[in-house]
Amino acid sequence: DAGITQSPRHKVTETGTPVTLRCHQTENHRYMYWYRQDPGHGLRLIHYSYGVKDTDKGEVSDGYSVSRSKTEDFLLTLESATSSQTSVYFCAIRGTASSYEQYFGPGTRLTVT
Amino acid sequence: AQRVTQPEKLLSVFKGAPVELKCNYSYSGSPELFWYVQYSRQRLQLLLRHISRESIKGFTADLNKGETSFHLKKPFAQEEDSAMYYCAFRDDKIIFGKGTRLHILP
């Protein structure tokens, strides 16, 4: 599992509240990614990081922010959760600098009511 | 623009029958393509990538540049193959298709 964990694994929150999801890795990988998985849309990239304090937007970044203050942690924040952000969120790391193979965390199921 | 297309949302195949999951891409150069699989209640995992030309769990995929395809094939389906399959394409990042759910019928 490439030492990737996500917390929490499940969360229910109300519309308008901020939510932070955490991705933690133990193998010092440089590249980390946040995706959301939705039926009919597959996996869509939200944000990614290519090093400490280096992040960039993905395909569906509106309403999300990220931070990476340490190599091992990549945080995804929903500033003000909306029902459209109900989804399963996956964190991933890139295995090596030369390969684009990705290894995924177990996922976080977020429900916004 | 959609770079990776998986035309089937759901594919049902009888156990023992051949399986083909379709993937088409749009790219003019030499692409790097992958197949990922997600079994029920498990995380996504890499199944295979075209560069390594390997066979994993009996699955193979050949890059056809003329048809811009990277279809995933297995000659004899097994019940444990039931899962969600994603084709992925490397641009400056990995771009995933929308996925195909493979259902193996007993």
d(CA B48, CA B33): 9
Name the residue of chain A whose CA is nearest to B34's CA.
A101
Which domains are assigned to chain A?
4-112 (2.60.40.10)
Q: Specify the pLDDT at position A101.
A: 84
Q: State whether the Cα torsion A83-B95-B85-A11 is positive or negative.
A: negative
Contact status of A105 with chain B (Cβ, < 8 Å)? yes
CA–centroid distance for A51 within its chain: 15
d(CA A93, CA A21): 16
pLDDT bin (cut points 50, 70, 90) of residue B1 is: low
CATH architecture for residues B4-105: Sandwich (2.60)
pLDDT bin (cut points 50, 70, 90) of residue B3 is: confident
Which among B25, B30, B14 has a CA at the least distance from the CA of B71? B25
Are the Cβ atoms of A101 and B49 closer than 8 angstroms?
yes
B47 within 8 A of B85, measured Cβ to Cβ: yes
**pLDDT surpassing 90 at residue B20:** yes
Write down the mean pLDDT value for chain B: 90
Domain boundaries, chain B: 4-105
**pLDDT surpassing 80 at residue B2:** no
Are the Cβ atoms of B94 and A103 closer than 8 angstroms?
no
* Residue in A35, A42, A102 closest to B99 by CB: A42
Nearest CA to CA, how far is B99 from chain A (Å)? 6
Q: Per residue in A53-107, pLDDT tens?
A: 999 999 999 999 999 999 999 999 999 999 999 999 999 998 776 677 889 999 9
Nearest CA to CA, how far is A17 from chain B (Å)? 27
Q: Specify the pLDDT at position A105.
A: 95
Q: Specify the pLDDT at position B62.
A: 86
Q: Per residue in B29-73, pLDDT tens?
A: 778 899 999 999 889 999 988 877 777 889 999 888 889 999 999
**pLDDT surpassing 80 at residue B28:** no
Q: Specify the pLDDT at position A1.
A: 64
Contact status of B8 with chain A (Cβ, < 8 Å)? no
